[in-house]
């Protein structure tokens, strides 16, 4: 199963809680090596985001992120895992699970309609 | 209905109570995680049994008959749906040969997998409870909705969403591997205890207590080496044994020391105490085992005055170390008050009051009031009773407190 792993910051996080957090380079090397991480990247902060909407056939642009996402999304990875337990294990070993939070979203396969 | 039909119907009801969850669990595995199909086919199998068995008689291996019938039904359904491209993958994953007719004892028991799937921590606690009652206890959506005092539609949606999430998020149908078990087993135990407590407070919902106990029995049979599972079973048996003495004819709560002990179910107490003792002998004490041991101290005392309070104090001390909570501290203070007198307990209660954590909890003030009263400090006790009265959640509790206040 494919999962989108959204790597997010946590506004309530206070530094020091992530003592012992794993190293991100190690994480990437291990997950790439196992074929679990298909791709991934950091994203530029919200101040560099542009939001696109089309209303009445007019393209409307807004500087910054869609309001509710604030500055939370810091990056993403695409994972290929056997099941949710494996995805949880992979996510819990990412340093941002310690200093921020990670959301796992299963892909919606093309051939499933419901 | 003829007598034979009535007998067969009763028999099927009995088989349903025990067999529903086994058939659903087997069907979830058989259909590769198609929860709705699994339940529909299990339902169909019981419907066919209701039609056929009054005529043909109950087969020697009823569970095998039901499982085989449910499997044939699933194969039919998927074959019919397989013209849709979307279903091809499911068909490919399935063995479409008609399954051999097994005997009851040969049917693999997949209920443990089902328990862990229903109680997966990625589901909300509400969803975990609802799925457990639907899939393992075989309760209808309407019954679960009634038990939790929500509209049937709401419960239906909650169940629907939970099953969808299991399928779509890739929640595995399995017992977690050993390294995850310490994190996951407590969730299963917690859900069963929650189900029990939902039923404990209300006689109309007594069935929830029976179901929680039945499921805990299944759990202990399937996981004999997990002492906390035995501890939970023991705890529920010991509480349930005292059920009928908890409320008097007028619907008033009766405190433990004033309960009519002849109403207690001695067989259930003996069983609970024995299970608890055996679990503790494994020397891996956990919160449920300790609470069961405390309940056993209460339940095995022939009269309230002979309760082994010093042992209860010790057990609460252990519980406070394993699962620290201010409620445990309060209960320990009550036990100290019984073992060593109110003057020994009052500093402990005052320390809890000092933290401010339980300020809105009526039992804190009621406990303090009781200790002050017994210490001969009537006017102070009255003040604490009044505070408790303001906070008490039910009429029964307010009546109880008002009676005590009058004695100050």
Q: Do B170 and A88 touch (CB under 8 A)?
A: no
CATH of domain A2-106: 3.30.70.1060
Interface of A with B in 7-26 (CB under 8 A): none
Which of A4, A5, A106 is best to mutate for the B interface (most B CBs within 10 A)?
A106
Domain map (residue ranges) of chain B: 1-108, 109-200, 321-407
- The C-alpha torsion from B253 through B259 and B260 to B261, rounded to 10°, is 140
> ipTM of the predicted structure?
0.86
Measured between CA atoms, how close is A111 to chain B, in angstroms? 6
The structure's pTM equals 0.85
Which residues on adjacent β-strands are paired with residue A63?
Answer: A50
Residue pair A90/A81 in contact (Cβ under 8 Å)? The answer is yes
Tens of pLDDT, residue by residue over A7-64, are 999 888 888 766 788 999 999 999 999 999 999 999 998 888 888 889 999 988 888 8
* Res B212: pLDDT: 95
Residue pair B364/B329 in contact (Cβ under 8 Å)? The answer is no
Measured between CA atoms, how close is B111 to chain A, in angstroms? 19
Residue pair B22/B106 in contact (Cβ under 8 Å)? The answer is no
Nearest-by-Cβ selection for A83 from B89, B172, B180: B172
Rounded-to-integer distance, Cα A27 and Cα A30, Å: 5
Confidence class of residue A69 from pLDDT cuts 50, 70 and 90? low
Task: For chain A, say whether B360 makes contact (Cβ under 8 Å).
Answer: no
* Res B386: pLDDT: 94
* Res B18: pLDDT: 83
Q: How many CB pairs under 8 A join A and B?
A: 30
Residue pair B102/B68 in contact (Cβ under 8 Å)? The answer is yes
Per CATH, which fold does B321-407 belong to? Answer: 1.25.40
- The structure tokens listed for B146 are 């009634």
Q: Which residue of B has its CA nearest to A1?
A: B170
Residue B341 is given by DSSP the state: -
Tens of pLDDT, residue by residue over B52-91, are 999 999 999 999 999 999 999 998 888 787 666 555 556 5
Residue pair A95/A28 in contact (Cβ under 8 Å)? The answer is no
Tens of pLDDT, residue by residue over B118-127, are 999 999 999 9
Q: Do A82 and B172 touch (CB under 8 A)?
A: yes
* Res B342: pLDDT: 96
Task: For chain A, say whether B86 makes contact (Cβ under 8 Å).
Answer: yes
Q: Which residue of B has its CA nearest to A80?
A: B170
* Res A29: pLDDT: 96
**Tokens 């009928």 correspond to what residue?**
B244
Task: For chain A, say whether B178 makes contact (Cβ under 8 Å).
Answer: no
State which residues of chain B have pLDDT below 50.
none
* CATH 1.10.1040 assigned to B109-200: no
Domain map (residue ranges) of chain A: 2-106
Measured between CA atoms, how close is B176 to chain A, in angstroms? 9
Q: Do B168 and A106 touch (CB under 8 A)?
A: yes
* Res B78: pLDDT: 83
Rounded-to-integer distance, Cα A41 and Cα A45, Å: 13
Residue pair A87/A79 in contact (Cβ under 8 Å)? The answer is yes
Nearest-by-Cβ selection for B170 from A84, A108, A111: A84
Q: Which run of H or E residues covers position B31?
A: none
Rounded-to-integer distance, Cα A4 and Cα B251, Å: 55
CA A3 from centre of chain: 10
Measured between CA atoms, how close is B183 to chain A, in angstroms? 12
**The dihedral sign for the CA sequence B178, B180, B186, B189:** negative
């Amino acid at each position: 199963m494919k999962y989108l792993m959204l790597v997010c910051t946590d506004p309530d996080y206070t530094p020091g809680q992530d003592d012992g957090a794993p190293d991100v380079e190690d994480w990437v090397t291990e997950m790439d090596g196992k074929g679990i991480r298909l791709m991934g990247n950091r994203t530029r902060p919200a101040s560099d985001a542009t939001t696109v909407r089309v209303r009445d056939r007019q393209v409307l642009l807004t500087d910054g992120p869609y309001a509710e996402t604030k500055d939370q999304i810091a990056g993403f990875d695409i994972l290929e895992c056997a099941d949710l337990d494996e995805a949880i294990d992979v996510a819990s070993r990412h340093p941002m699970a310690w200093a921020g939070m990670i959301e796992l979203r299963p892909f919606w396969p093309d051939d499933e309609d419901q | 209905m003829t007598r034979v039909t009535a007998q067969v119907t009763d028999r099927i009801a009995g088989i349903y109570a025990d067999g529903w969850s086994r058939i659903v669990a087997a069907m979830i595995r058989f259909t590769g995680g198609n929860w709705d199909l699994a339940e529909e086919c299990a339902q169909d199998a019981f419907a066919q049994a209701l039609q056929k068995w009054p005529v043909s008689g109950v087969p020697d291996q009823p569970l095998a008959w039901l499982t085989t019938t449910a499997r044939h039904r699933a194969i039919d359904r998927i074959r019919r749906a397989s013209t849709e491209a979307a279903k091809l993958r499911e068909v490919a994953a399935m063995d479409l040969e008609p399954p051999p007719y097994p005997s009851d004892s040969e049917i693999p028991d997949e209920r443990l997998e089902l328990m862990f799937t229903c109680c997966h921590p990625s589901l909300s606690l509400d969803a975990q409870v609802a799925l457990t009652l639907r899939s393992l206890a075989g309760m209808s959506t309407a019954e679960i909705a009634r038990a939790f005092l929500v509209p049937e539609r709401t419960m239906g949606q909650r169940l629907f969403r939970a099953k969808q999430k299991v399928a779509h998020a890739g929640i595995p149908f399995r017992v977690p591997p050993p390294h995850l078990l310490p994190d996951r087993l407590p969730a299963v135990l917690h859900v069963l205890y929650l189900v029990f407590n939902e039923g404990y407070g209300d006689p109309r919902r007594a069935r929830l207590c029976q179901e929680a106990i039945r499921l805990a029995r299944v759990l202990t049979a399937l996981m004999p080496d997990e002492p906390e599972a035995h501890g939970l079973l023991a705890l529920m048996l010991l509480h349930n044994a005292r059920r009928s003495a908890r409320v008097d004819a007028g619907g008033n709560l009766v405190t433990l020391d004033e309960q009519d002990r002849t109403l207690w179910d001695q067989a259930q107490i003996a069983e609970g105490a024995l299970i608890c003792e055996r679990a503790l002998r494994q020397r891996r004490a956990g919160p449920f085992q300790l609470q069961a041991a405390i309940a056993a101290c209460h339940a095995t005392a022939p009269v309230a005055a002979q309760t082994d309070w010093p042992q209860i104090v010790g057990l609460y001390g252990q519980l406070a170390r394993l699962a620290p909570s201010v409620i445990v501290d309060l209960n320990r203070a009550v036990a100290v008050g019984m073992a060593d007198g109110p003057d020994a307990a009052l500093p402990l209660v005052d320390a809890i009051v000092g933290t401010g954590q339980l300020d809105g909890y009526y039992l804190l003030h009621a406990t303090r009031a009781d200790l002050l009263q017994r210490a001969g400090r009537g006017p102070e006790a009255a003040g604490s009773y009044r505070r408790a009265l303001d906070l008490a959640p039910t009429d029964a509790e307010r009546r109880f407190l008002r009676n005590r206040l009058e004695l100050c």
